[in-house]
């Protein structure tokens, strides 16, 4: 006889739902606890990441970089279009590359996943301005061209500083509880050929005759194939000294008088030296080097081995057999060598300011039968000005076409096509300029903050 298990059935029917309910409650509570812990951990991680990023970004400033491109003799505002395009392209991706290279300050994983990049990418904005002041008007001399350029740059500085001030005021009113952020306006000039001399003259006009320098941070001054020493005794085929004044006179242009230093023109030499105390003329007594000295960095690009028909390497990089300036070779294995040349010992003259000199050899783009062999530059830690002049003044080609080539002259569509081989040079220069502008502006701000704290 089978006994019914009466006593057990009711107990089983009551406990199953209770156990299930308990399990569901426990699981639900576990999920809630897990969710709370996860959210708390994520929030804490985000907070820590923000603190780390903000602590690494010591400065809270925003930077508005005005970059002025200045064309040369008989040029146009389209002349440096490719450099302008390269600067814009490099500026878009420079932040991440800069952070990746700065491994001592940032965690590489944070950089790669973008946790710090978003906080930095809007700190630096770049405005590329192509000068039109001397379009169709570059024959009446360096002084007049420089004065026109100064007026144009002064107007730009006034316009953009006013716009930024208005924008900053509106932001501060709408975000009264947020931390105040200063916007620093920087100025960089890149002059090509005669545009380099226009730029140097314009800087003196801005510095001595306006208050423009009070509103901006002079950042980078650069030139490409500019005849800083003029063209007297510096032509591809050297002319007798007595012939040069006649050449300038025949052309009937003040710009040629200035470049050949003929017909009593001294403007080129005036811009290359400190004034003497006994100079009575106002222009002669003006110190053209002092405004240049205000810039955080100075760069020249010059064509080596007589590949430039219009501007010699000596004039483009102010090399002289009489100069005792020392040029240190750029090498990643050496510390603190961010520039190719760190000039010392000249006492007076353009070299005393310290320059990053880039010597370009464009012979590889020419057919081999147009190339002339030259001895290789012996690798050294440093060179004198005399040694570099002796090396780079050798004739390396029968067809000196580097002047429009090395800056990828784009003043017409035909020019752009013919100088396409020079575009990698401008790509490299644009990358150097963007990274330098970011680093130098932030270093300057940090230095200013440290001085204020002392």
Q: Residue 49 — φ and ψ, nearest 5°?
A: -60, -45
Q: What is the 3-state secondary structure (H, E, C) of 246-276?
A: HHHHHHCCHHHHHHHCCCCCCHHHHCCCCCC
* Alpha helices per DSSP H over 372-422: 385-392, 402-405, 413-418
Asked if the structure places residue 211 within a domain, the reply is: yes
The pTM score is 0.81
Asked if the structure places residue 275 within a domain, the reply is: no
Radius of gyration (C-alpha) of the chain in whole angstroms: 31
DSSP state, residue 156: H
Neighbours of 163 (CB within 10 A): 11
Asked if the structure places residue 245 within a domain, the reply is: no
> Alpha-carbon distance 152 to 133, whole Å?
7
Over the chain (454 residues), the average pLDDT of each successive run of 10 is 31 47 47 38 42 52 95 96 96 66 48 50 88 95 98 95 78 56 93 98 95 93 96 87 83 91 92 73 77 96 94 93 84 43 52 91 88 89 91 92 93 95 95 95 90 79
Asked if the structure places residue 367 within a domain, the reply is: yes
Report the domain count for the chain.
Answer: 1
Range of the domain at 135: 66-172+182-227+285-453
pLDDT of residue 74: 93
Asked if the structure places residue 190 within a domain, the reply is: yes
pLDDT of residue 273: 87
pLDDT of residue 330: 78
Q: Are 247 and 263 in contact (CB under 8 A)?
A: no
pLDDT of residue 174: 58
Asked if the structure places residue 45 within a domain, the reply is: no
Joined tokens for residue 232: 């007297």
Asked if the structure places residue 246 within a domain, the reply is: no
Asked if the structure places residue 358 within a domain, the reply is: yes
pLDDT of residue 94: 59
Torsion of CA 314, 317, 323, 327, to 10 degrees: -130
> Alpha-carbon distance 221 to 409, whole Å?
19
pLDDT of residue 167: 74
pLDDT of residue 121: 57
**Cα–Cα separations (whole angstroms), residue 277 to 19, 289, 350:** 102, 15, 18
pLDDT of residue 377: 87
């Amino acid at each position: 006889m089978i006994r019914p298990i009466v006593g057990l059935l009711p107990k089983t029917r009551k406990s199953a739902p209770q156990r299930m309910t308990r399990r569901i409650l426990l699981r639900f509570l576990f999920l809630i606890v897990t969710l709370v812990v996860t959210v708390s951990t994520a929030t804490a991680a985000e907070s820590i990441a923000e603190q780390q990023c903000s602590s690494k970004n010591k400065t809270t400033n925003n930077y508005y970089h005005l970059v002025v491109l200045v064309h040369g003799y008989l040029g146009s505002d389209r002349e440096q279009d490719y450099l302008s395009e390269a600067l814009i392209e490099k500026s878009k991706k420079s932040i991440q590359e800069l952070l990746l290279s700065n491994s001592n300050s940032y965690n590489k994983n944070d950089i790669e996943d973008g946790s710090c990049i978003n906080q930095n990418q809007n700190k630096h904005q770049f405005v590329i301005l192509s000068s039109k002041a001397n379009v169709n008007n570059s024959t009446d001399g360096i002084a007049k061209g420089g004065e026109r350029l100064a007026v144009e740059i002064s107007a730009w500085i006034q316009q953009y500083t006013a716009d930024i001030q208005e924008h900053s005021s509106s932001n501060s009113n709408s975000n009264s509880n947020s931390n105040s952020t200063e916007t620093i306006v920087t100025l960089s000039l890149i002059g090509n050929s005669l545009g380099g001399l226009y730029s140097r003259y314009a800087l003196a006009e801005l510095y001595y005759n306006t208050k423009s320098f009070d509103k901006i941070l002079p950042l980078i001054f650069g030139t490409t194939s500019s005849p800083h020493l003029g063209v007297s005794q510096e032509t591809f085929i050297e002319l007798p000294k007595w012939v040069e004044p006649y050449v300038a006179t025949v052309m009937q242009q003040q710009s040629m008088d200035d470049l050949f230093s003929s017909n009593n023109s001294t403007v080129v030499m005036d811009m290359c030296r400190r004034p003497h105390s006994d100079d009575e003329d106002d222009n002669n007594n003006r110190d053209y080097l002092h405004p240049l000295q205000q810039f955080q960095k100075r760069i020249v690009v010059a064509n080596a081995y007589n590949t430039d028909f219009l501007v010699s390497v000596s004039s483009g990089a102010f090399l002289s057999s009489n100069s005792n300036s020392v040029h240190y070779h750029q090498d990643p294995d050496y510390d603190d060598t961010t520039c190719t040349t760190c000039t010392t010992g000249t006492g007076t003259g353009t070299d005393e300011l310290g320059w990053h000199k880039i010597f370009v050899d464009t012979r590889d783009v020419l057919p081999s039968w147009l190339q002339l062999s030259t001895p290789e530059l012996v690798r050294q830690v440093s060179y004198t000005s005399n040694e570099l002049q002796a090396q780079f003044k050798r004739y390396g080609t029968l067809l000196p076409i580097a002047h429009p080539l090395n800056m990828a002259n784009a003043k017409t569509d035909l020019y752009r096509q013919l100088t396409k081989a020079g575009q990698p040079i401008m790509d490299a220069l644009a990358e150097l300029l963007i990274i330098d502008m970011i680093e130098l502006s932030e270093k300057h701000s940090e230095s200013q903050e440290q001085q204020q704290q002392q």
